[in-house]
Structure 1
Amino acid sequence: MEDSYKCYFNNWNNIAVQFYTYIYCEMKHKFLTLFSIAFILSGNIISQNKNAFIVESPESPNIITINDNNILLADGTTYSFTVDTPKDEGLVSTGLTVDNIKKQIQVLAGGYFDYTVYNSKKEIKTEGVLASGDILEVKSQGKKKAYTINIEKAALSPSLSLHRNNMTANTSGDITLDFVAGQRTPKAVINIYIPKGINATLDNTTVDVIGRGEVSLRNLPYQSIGKTGTNYSYKKVGTVDITQNGDKGQILTFSDIDLRPLNAIDLRIRIKGVVLSKTGDYVFQSDYTTTEPQVYKSKMTNMSSATVKVVNTISDFRHDMPRDFTYKEDKALFLKPELRWSAPRNEANIVLMQSVDKGKKWTVAKNVNATSGRLITDNLTPNTMYMFKLLVKDGAHKGESNTISFYSGKFDVKTFGAKGDDKTDDTEAINKAISHINAIGGGILSFTDGNYMVRTAHLKSNVWLHVDKSATIKGLLGQDAPEATWFSDRDYRAGLSPTDPRPYANPENWLTKQDVGHTFFRNVMFFAERQENIKIFGNGRISGNGSLVNSDGVMKNSPEKRADKMFTFKLCKNIEIGGYNIGKDMWYDPDKDEPYYIDEGGKKNFELDNILHLDRGGHFVLLATGTDSLNVHDTYLGKYYNGNARDIYDFMACSHVAAVNIYSKMSSDDIVKLGSDCSLGFTRPVKDYTVRNIIGDTNCNLFQIGSETADDIQDVYVDNIYVLGSNKAGFSISTNDGANIKNVYLNSGRTGKIHSRSKMLRTRAPFFISISNRGRVIGADVQMFTFKEGESIRKELLCTNSNIGSVENIIINDIDITEVYGGSSHSGKRWAPYSGKQNKATPIIAGYKLPDSDVVEGGLNFTLPNGKHTGYITNIQFNNVNLLVKGGHPSEDSNASPPEIGVGRYNVNDLKIQPAYGFWFRHAKNILLKNCTINYEESDGRHAIVLDDVIGGKIESVKMPDSVTKPLIKLISSKEISIE
């Protein structure tokens, strides 16, 4: 078939509202591509002329209308950058191409079709954007029809979908709509058309704009935009108006909405407590207007509408997967499902029907325990697919409910076509299985005995993955590409420089405010975005298998080698990764160099049969961003392969997080790290962390808050840490971008019993508590300044319009620190003894102060928004801390004056030598050292404690070695200090 395209549509499965379509395309008889598209129709109705030959596909953003002889297409421009796009070449056409039209049309009668495109001169057109006057000729099943193409300048169609497509009459329920614009734009105007009979108000309706969080319409203008510098163009998230649409209903108009970031869903709108008495179809519609690169308005299309059908019968019969924070193996999960619905309330007239043969035969279910709106059925046969429905015998809701499916066991991934033979690419089978289980309401997908190769698995709500002890999931090259974005990220991808202004060049560009690994999400082995209730658990193994990159230069690689993460969760909820929780604490045996569980009576249990093994995670084993209620536990990192692992668990802008029983044999970056960045296109505050029994060796920090600190962080509780080696710090808090960090506790007992004293060995700086004003936030600006600091002249950037952060209420208890040098086994040997050449540093507690105007060439020409030019660390306490350092410094080092922490200099090594061998404080208030010991192995000529610009402090019952040459405690510009 010369210069034409042949497409075969095989709709192989229809479960609930989930469709899977496999499209095979040939050009000149040559196989081109195979891809799968999952469409959730969500009540959208394609208007079908019974005489029509072709209709638009469910996903057809360019198609405005198709009539008997014409197709009207939307066409315009937008900005879209891939990681390969030159930074000034992101303006692209949104027009539909010859090749891509096959994705947006389908033959109404079904089956395959082929097509040919001709230009206005009747010449065959094989590539390029469709233009007015082109002719599309479609052939299918012996029929042929030609359509004239017409173009209209318009925005690509939005997608509008509903969380429920049916409602029961006279029954209260919520209606939730998801709106996604067809193209990106700042300052969008979005109209949502509410059908007559549904009354949205400022108080009964909520909205979540690009994942910022749900607020009532009344409070939308007052929702926080996050932390920003003063150069950010938005002062509010948006505004909303409700107007009457004649006798058709209402219009919700959202104005000044920033749709440049794409976080899966642009608006999630929830109308609460809707009661509809009239049966029939209620059609919602939507459109939007762009402002850049040009003003376009979208047209009303099938994609931009969604329909709720109101019926008299029960329409929301369902099985909800449990949402327990921690998985527990329980037969009731499979054999006693809890089923729910909203109406009616007279359970005496309801019968539960069940089928085990795909609905061919129905019987009355036995052993049903029903209460109002819920029932629990028993006596199910294991590993059987059931269908259930309710039969209402009389009353207003008489009749059969919707039908649901439930599997009384764990699905075996092999039944979906996965081979697990250590060579077959199982990606397609795994994703098919996940989509199937999601479509029926949820369940557990089990990876049984075998080695499964996967590129990118797309995780979905209510689907739990079980990794059996005899199973390994391995990464495979060719994972999904990094997502296209509104801005280019090429101005900054990684690096530390006090003189490079490029991260700040465009204050609106959120992509340049953090390293490239944080910026992109889809180049990953397991991906989830805006999903809920996902678990990955078991005692098997997951390995990146060398397919995941751990370098900041990842985007320089060829496209198939750009994945750098094992797990990504973006704006998700209720996530668990771990082994089986056996209710015991993990600790470490230095003789065996292995972790163990503490059994009753303190016995050591080295079996670890419950552990989930992870290795070769690339840049991140886990990158969770904007994800709440997250539980990682009982994992062993690096048992089977001890390289190709950088950060382990990174929590960015996440809250309500637990990290418990984590052992990392060796990594090149932080083991447990929390912070907040700008990668979502906005910042989120962080709170409520439970971190317990963290053991490991790292080239960086065992526990770290920072360096990405674009929003506030509070209420972090850490108990029982065991640092085996750390080339930066054992315990680090570093606010660099304006975050206020408060209420961080080490060994307070708030996560549970303190079973052992925490330990640090071979760590360069035991503690690194610091403030800088790097200011990598949206809207921040920098200027180059030359200023004098001590005897040095510094020429570097200073952030001029974003506030300095703060650190307060840091309580550190009960820890023994020895072998204070950078001795991580990352260098190769486990562990190299101290030779005098390794890096070492003091426990550092250092706030930040801008230079005074009189030492700046030309003066300091700015004042920060809050007027504060010093960031203090306030109320920091060390109780029962035993510190034994190497010592050996000459007395000249007692006069050392470490530089202030700058825009590109905010790590331990940037502070060079400290004037104390014990604790060094600068820019701090209300400090406490109590019941501590400070000592050295070799005599040291520095002070035990130095307080520099410390206001208020108490040193009580601290044991220090006798000093002949230097005072043990030195005060510099400090006051209100009590020494007992």
Structure 2
Amino acid sequence: MMNSITRKTPVLWFALCCLGMSAQAASGLTPWVLKADSLLLSSGTTYRYTVDTPEGEGLVSTLPSVTELVELFSKSEKAVCRVTDMHGNIKVDRTPLEGDRMELVSPQGKVTRRWMIGIRNAALPAQLLLHREQATINAPGNIFLDFRAGQRSPMVKVEIRVPAGIVVTLDNTTVNVIGRGEVLLRDLPKQSIGRTGTHYSYNKVGNVALRDEGERGTVIVFSGLDFRPSNGPDLRICFRGVAPVRKGINRFEAIYTTSKPEVLQSPVAVADLEGITTVADLVRTPLRDFTYRPGQEYTYASFSWTPPHNASSVELLQSADGGNTWTTARAEVTPDSRETAANGLEPNRLYAFKLRVTGGRNKGESNTVWFYTGRKDIRDYRVKGDGVADDTEAINEAIINMSRLGGGILRFTQGTYNVRTIHLQSNVWLHLDSDATIQALPGADAPEATWFSDRAYRSGLSPTDPRPYADPENYLTKQDVGHTFFRNCMFFGERIDNVKVVGTGRITGNGNIVTSDKVMNNSPEKRSDKMFSLKLCTNVEIGGWDVKKDMWYDPEKDIPYYIEGDNRLYSDSTMLHIDQGGHFVLLATGTDGIHVHDTYFAKHSTKNARDIYDFMACNDVTVTNIYSKVSSDDIVKPGSDCSLGFTRPARHYMVRNIVGDTNCNLFQIGSETADDIQDLYVDNIYVLGANKAGFSISTNDGGHVKNVYLNSGKTGPIHSRSVMRRTRAPFFISISNRGRVLGADVAPFTFTENGVVRKELLVTNSNIGQVENIVICGVDIEEVYGGSSFRGDRWKAYDGSQSKATPIIAGFKLPDSDVVEGGLTFRLPDGNHTGYINNVQFHDVSLKVKGGHPSEDAKAYPPEIGVGRYNVGDLKIQPAFGFWARHVKGFLLKNCRIAAEQPDGRYAVVMDDVIGGEVESLQVDKGISDKEEVKLIDCEDIRQ
């Protein structure tokens, strides 16, 4: 196929990524081939659902209408355009036909250019993009190539021709397929597809083979790729340690073939790499700090390059006038150097840099790189910041401009900046002065179009609704709608690196970022539900100034403070201020290296605030010094879902000094747990109110939650005991088998549990998750009731109307076959019938509950946690007023204290189906109950 196509005159094809590309992101991409006298369009079909498309009606033609074509072409050519038929009649609607004309029209109405329209039955053209345009011949380095298909499809075949001379092997080339992670070509068939049920159609990410075509180069053939998800480049390929061997154009070519809804082959996409003799890979190293330093003068720049061959001398030159005049930079460079730094630059100036090489085969001047020293005032662009103008386009232009310079810092000075959606870019940092406010406008970017429809499930808890599982391939229905879409937000980033939004100013949703799960029922301009949406990014910082102090809370003043030796510093002037964040202040998905810190939520407004930080499938996350006055959902929430089209494990969290009031949980692992979540260290939390739990850990979808520590000191010294006030349940540690993963199936069952008939779904082919190694130390708990101030008073005293629950540790057990009507007709893949929580320890926990339950409640039997029934309230009343544990292997209470404000007829501790337990030095206040302190039900190996 490649041979027959490439014998034709090569042309540069641009793709319009019609699924999931905003106008900003799609800039410069077109769905046509433009020749000297013709405009060629592709005609075919694909599935394309917007959030408004009725379910089952997503099959569309890829051929644009006349109106769409004119709009796109006018933007591309920056001129007035029109389409006429072969007789010269202007066409307004319908679809373009073979033989129609595209015309450019002058302001005087004169046709200045004309192209004949041709139409082919083909897939939409792909985009092939090299990360650089030139490379030094015979100078080995890395070449990065991005491929993006023009339309989505499962089981895609991609052929990429690499020019002769650039050596390709299975061991020197890596690929990253739809953001799954970089692997050697040799290892692609072995790469994990993520966690799935048994009815997922894929068992590998894809296959790859190399075809040597001699002087025509090497063809890399990928097959069996799932391009239904759209996560930026579909393939990111890196050729390592290679170089072109000939001067001039070295052409890469690509085609792809879809499998559904019809088999279509794309035209050839090309990308040209120019081979030159001079140094072509001079790079200015972007600014990189784990924590932003506001006082730092960035008046130095670092550089790297491949050393030239046999040079007699190398100089680094600099220009402060746009490249008109050049001087030698203050930098140490030898002929063998591969890096250096230029010092003594003047602040707030734009510099250009290049190398001058004398002698050897690479003599001459290198490519030019740029650096703006200091912080560029955003108002130097067209940004007004007057609180009236819509600054979106101007700010995005400024960010793109800074990105083209290789990155830098944009400073938001005094003013109010109205924005819809800001598109973050790699290596560009945003700095907010204390008197700067960025506030949301209506009309943020629309939710992306997708291959599947999400209509079968958008939100809700139901033990009998099979719609999330109806299509085991549909990743959109495996989590709530807020997690499913990414672009309807205030700040968006996808596949970007080294980004910061820092300062002491204010970012507010301004009432224009919504919280509801019914967001897609709104009119299009009111569908933004996220402040920050980061998808498959790396190295991100959001916060105020890191003052190297611990933040804590004063209950008398009801404000946070910083600990300064033996003193308290009552100031939030070094904190970033955020309010009205909508459903999520930050939804980070598949993003690694996140640092959020020193942020005050809801000081200016307590409205329109739901989740604060949701980390889905993220790794290497630090959260420090966070104060949330009140929110309606979780404050810190690690999890893992299917929204990327695959699952991804999460590891390495360091969470410290979190204070807040929430309608849900202060810290929550889950509910989305489609993959493993491990190694989380949390120190110093202060729960002001939580209508669910203060500290919640759950696995619902098969993930393995392991190694979670509260107050271990891993993040730093424990400066204070953790505190919980007004929590419905201080701790909620649980397992269910909701099973919202790709390939999972459910079936309805009727069974009897403790005399109660239950009719609900059970997951039949996806394993029960695991919870293991949970260690909790040094917590003082009192006022155990759901007393968040979310709904009003701060805070309403307990009056008996509020909900309350015991600290809960609850595994999950499927019903036995003999209590199921018709018997249990399935066996899970690993054969497990019960999901035990393994090794849960409580050390030095002081618990004072309300009490007041009658002795009849000692007989309570909380139901097993089911599909759609996995919250604290679903477990009804517990038979213990202290700790209740069921389906646990390895349970320890050591040096814990239990008190109650009123007598209580239940047990202090109940263990049910606990295997291997120990109660050591437990103190229970006298007179609370006349029952034994520890009640054992079907337990083994319990020591007291």
Q: Give the fraction of aligned pairs with identical amino acids, expressed as a percent.
A: 59
Alignment of 1:481-492 (within 5 A): 481-492=446-457
Match status 1:197 vs 2:142: no
Which residue of structure 2 lines up, in the alignment, with residue 31 of structure 1? none
Offset of 1:977 from its aligned partner?
0.2
Query: Given residue 484 of structure 2, which amino acid in structure 1 is its aligned partner?
Result: T
Shift of the 346–748 alpha-carbon distance from structure 1 to 2, 3 Å rule, reads farther
Which residue of structure 1 lines up, in the alignment, with residue 18 of structure 2? none
Q: How many residues are paired up?
A: 920
Alignment of 1:533-572 (within 5 A): 533-572=498-537
Offset of 1:659 from its aligned partner?
0.5
Alignment of 1:369-768 (within 5 A): 372-600=337-565, 602-768=566-732
Shift of the 112–573 alpha-carbon distance from structure 1 to 2, 3 Å rule, reads closer
Q: Quick one: which of 855, 861, 870 aligns to 2:834? A: 870
* TM-score normalised by length of structure 2: 0.95
CA distance in 2, matches of 1:794, 1:862: 18
Q: Is the 8 A contact 2:701 2:740 kept in 1?
A: yes
Q: Quick one: which of 239, 264, 287 aligns to 1:322? A: 287
Deviations 1:390-416 (A, max 9, x none): 111222111111111211111111111
Which residue of structure 2 lines up, in the alignment, with residue 24 of structure 1? none
Which residue of structure 2 lines up, in the alignment, with residue 165 of structure 1? 133
CA distance in 2, matches of 1:586, 1:826: 23
Which residue of structure 1 lines up, in the alignment, with residue 902 of structure 2? 938
3-state secondary structure, aligned to 1:696? strand
Q: Is the 8 A contact 2:84 2:90 kept in 1?
A: yes
Shift of the 36–805 alpha-carbon distance from structure 1 to 2, 3 Å rule, reads closer
CA distance in 2, matches of 1:165, 1:112: 25
Alignment of 1:71-470 (within 5 A): 71-102=39-70, 113-120=79-86, 122-139=88-105, 144-300=112-268, 304-329=269-294, 331-332=296-297, 334-344=298-308, 349-366=313-330, 368=332, 372-470=337-435
CA distance in 2, matches of 1:407, 1:116: 42
Q: Is the 8 A contact 1:153 1:296 kept in 2?
A: yes
Match status 1:66 vs 2:30: no
Which residue of structure 2 lines up, in the alignment, with residue 10 of structure 1? none
Which residue of structure 1 lines up, in the alignment, with residue 942 of structure 2? 977
Query: Given residue 604 of structure 2, which amino acid in structure 1 is its aligned partner?
Result: Y
Offset of 1:533 from its aligned partner?
0.3
Shift of the 876–444 alpha-carbon distance from structure 1 to 2, 3 Å rule, reads same
CA distance in 2, matches of 1:950, 1:817: 24
CA distance in 1, matches of 2:440, 2:111: 46
Deviations 1:63-82 (A, max 9, x none): 3x6353x4332111100000
Shift of the 476–37 alpha-carbon distance from structure 1 to 2, 3 Å rule, reads closer
Which residue of structure 2 lines up, in the alignment, with residue 9 of structure 1? none
3-state secondary structure, aligned to 2:175? strand
Moved more, 78-87 or 320-329: 320-329
Q: Is the 8 A contact 1:61 1:158 kept in 2?
A: no
Deviations 1:547-583 (A, max 9, x none): 1000101000000000000001000000000111011
Offset of 1:145 from its aligned partner?
4.9
Q: Is the 8 A contact 2:310 2:359 kept in 1?
A: no
Offset of 1:781 from its aligned partner?
0.7
CA distance in 2, matches of 1:940, 1:185: 61
Offset of 1:348 from its aligned partner?
6.4
CA distance in 1, matches of 2:568, 2:367: 53
3-state secondary structure, aligned to 1:189? strand
CA distance in 1, matches of 2:77, 2:936: 84
Shift of the 345–374 alpha-carbon distance from structure 1 to 2, 3 Å rule, reads farther
Deviations 1:429-475 (A, max 9, x none): 10010000001100000100011111000000000000101101101
CA distance in 2, matches of 1:236, 1:827: 48
* TM-score normalised by length of structure 1: 0.92
CA distance in 2, matches of 1:298, 1:198: 25
3-state secondary structure, aligned to 1:381? coil
Query: Given residue 322 of structure 1, which amino acid in structure 2 is its aligned partner?
Result: L
Which residue of structure 1 lines up, in the alignment, with residue 914 of structure 2? 950
Indicate the RMSD between aligned Cα atoms, in angstroms.
1.8
Query: Given residue 246 of structure 2, which amino acid in structure 1 is its aligned partner?
Result: K
Moved more, 252-261 or 158-167: 158-167
Alignment of 1:771-920 (within 5 A): 771-920=735-884
Offset of 1:541 from its aligned partner?
0.7
Deviations 1:931-969 (A, max 9, x none): 101111101000000000001111000111336631111
Shift of the 60–674 alpha-carbon distance from structure 1 to 2, 3 Å rule, reads same
CA distance in 2, matches of 1:590, 1:366: 55
CA distance in 2, matches of 1:597, 1:71: 64
Deviations 1:88-110 (A, max 9, x none): 11011100332333466589xx9
CA distance in 2, matches of 1:176, 1:862: 48
CA distance in 2, matches of 1:515, 1:814: 35
Offset of 1:379 from its aligned partner?
2.1
CA distance in 1, matches of 2:659, 2:296: 33
Q: Is the 8 A contact 1:345 1:372 kept in 2?
A: no
Q: Is the 8 A contact 2:164 2:216 kept in 1?
A: yes
Gaps of 5+ in 1: 1-18, 20-34, 41-57
Q: Is the 8 A contact 2:889 2:915 kept in 1?
A: yes
CA distance in 1, matches of 2:287, 2:548: 20
